[in-house]
Amino acid sequence: KAGVTQTPRYLIKTRGQQVTLSCSPISGHRSVSWYQQTPGQGLQFLFEYFSETQRNKGNFPGRFSGRQFSNSRSEMNVSTLELGDSALYLCASSLNGGSVQETQYFGPGTRLLVL
């Protein structure tokens, strides 16, 4: 099976712009979670989507949003970018996610640089 893929891999934006990142999960996986990774802060949970519904969310401002499509592909959007949004954004997929406590498989990430 193909692994989790993310596009684009690298992105440079300026403050105030908005950005959309895409994640395609492993075939058959219905849960997609998004994480922000920065040096010293590790992996911080953004949100999880399952069957096109946001099932859970972390402590990020409303500028961070996402959605999931019927084929389980997910997008994440960040509006009004700030310098502090520069990070590696990882998505992870699992079969059902949530309380089932399954293995999460990570994508390669999208590295976002905000200037």
Partner 1 sequence: GENVEQHPSTLSVQEGDSAVIKCTYSDSASNYFPWYKQELGKRPQLIIDIRSNVGEKKDQRIAVTLNKTAKHFSLHITETQPEDSAVYFCAAYMNRDDKIIFGKGTRLHILP
User: What is the C-alpha separation between 56 and 46, in angstroms, rounded?
Assistant: 9
Look at the block and give the residue holding tokens 């293995």. Answer: 103
Distance of alpha carbon 55 from alpha carbon 63, whole angstroms: 18
36 sits near partner 1 (criterion: CB under 8 A): no
Q: How far is the CB of 17 from partner 1 (least distance, A)?
A: 26
Looking at residue 80, what DSSP letter applies? Answer: S
What x-and-dash track marks residues 89-108 binding partner 1 by CB under 8 A?
A: -x-------xx-x-xxxxxx
Q: Is the dihedral of CA 96, 64, 38, 23 positive or negative?
A: positive
Using CB under 8 A, pick the residue from 35, 49, 64, 89 that binds partner 1.
35
How far is the C-alpha of 105 from the C-alpha of 25, rounded, in Å? 9
Task: Select the span of 15-23, 33-41, 69-77, 78-86 touching partner 1 (CB under 8 A).
Answer: 33-41
For residues 39-58, which are near partner 1 according to CB under 8 A?
40-45, 48, 55-56, 58
* Interface ranges with partner 1 (CB under 8 A): 4, 33, 35, 40-45, 48, 55-56, 58-59, 90, 98-99, 101, 103-109
